[in-house]
Structure 1
Amino acid sequence: MLIQIILVIGVIAVGIFFTRPTGSDSHLALRRLFLGFFVFVAILSIIFPTWLTWFANLIGVGRGADLLLYALVLAFLVFVSTTYRRNVQINRRITQLARQITLAKAAIDDVEAGEDNQKKSDG
């Protein structure tokens, strides 16, 4: 019974932590909905462990623990996929910014070189 209370509190704490806005969340509402559903199902599974086994048997999986493992593997693959895509986008943006900075610096250097040449010809 004590472990159930600890686990429920932990799931709620993690749910609250992950639904806090970070300032750049474009899909925050969708993430909150999925996380709220996850927290709800996790709490039900902790309080009523036989429920997960019943549901697993209903969809053709032998044990609730196996169903949980399959769901976690699927969630991990989704996480890896979205993280990879996000990293590719970030790397492309960094490359674009580096190019813009290089071109801006080259333009500034050209202007400064032209001013130096003008001073030399005037002097």
Structure 2
Amino acid sequence: MDTGKIVIQIILIIGLAVPAVILVLPTKGARGLAIRRLTMLAALVVGIIAVIFPSLANAVANAVGVGRGADLLLYGLIIVFIGYGLSTSAHLRRVDRQISELTRELAIAEAKPPAPSSTGVEER
């Protein structure tokens, strides 16, 4: 097997594993927000550099065993989309849990005791 292909395979596997690991770790608060913002900023910078210097994208692609810079950018985009999908899914699960908890609390807070019946026996 070509050494260059092994390099890109390792890079892609790490690129796919890192978002999964980040999602498993608890990232509430400022730390999680900082990680998301830094990741977004890094992707933006890489994209701008690839647009300004397309030959650099080709050189990096050749160095890691990919034929063209466009293919390397596609691989990177796939990793970003998968990371975004996993992140969005985790966020939606958290929001669903919060909505369920709030709904329960509201139902308990607004619950009214049953009205007493004239016979002393509960009516259904």
Q: Which amino acid aligns with 2:113?
A: D
What TM-score, normalized by structure 1, do the two folds share? 0.63
Cα-Cα RMSD: 2.1
| Matched residue SS, 1:110 | coil
| Matched residue SS, 1:96 | helix
Please show how residues 8-23 of structure 1 align to structure 2 within 5 Å: none
Please show how residues 40-55 of structure 1 align to structure 2 within 5 Å: 40-55=45-60
* Structure 2 runs not aligned, ≥5 long: 1-28, 119-124
Q: Match for residue 74 of structure 1?
A: 79
1:64 aligns with 2:89: no
Select 2:113's aligned residue among 99, 105, 110.
110
Q: Match for residue 18 of structure 2?
A: none
CA distance in 2, matches of 1:28, 1:93: 19
Deviation at 1:93, TM superposition (A): 0.9
Q: Which amino acid aligns with 1:83?
A: T
Q: Match for residue 86 of structure 1?
A: 91
CA distance in 2, matches of 1:91, 1:28: 20
Q: Which amino acid aligns with 2:86?
A: S
Deviation at 1:43, TM superposition (A): 1.8
Bigger-Rg structure (1/2) = 1
| Matched residue SS, 2:110 | helix
CA distance in 1, matches of 2:78, 2:64: 17
Higher mean displacement: 65-74 or 35-44: 35-44
The structure richer in helix per residue is 1
Q: Which amino acid aligns with 2:64?
A: I
Deviation at 1:46, TM superposition (A): 1.1
Deviation at 1:76, TM superposition (A): 0.5
What TM-score, normalized by structure 2, do the two folds share? 0.62
* Structure 1 runs not aligned, ≥5 long: 1-24, 118-123
User: RCO greater where, 1 or 2, for CA within 8 Å and sep 6 or more?
Assistant: 2
Q: Match for residue 95 of structure 1?
A: 100
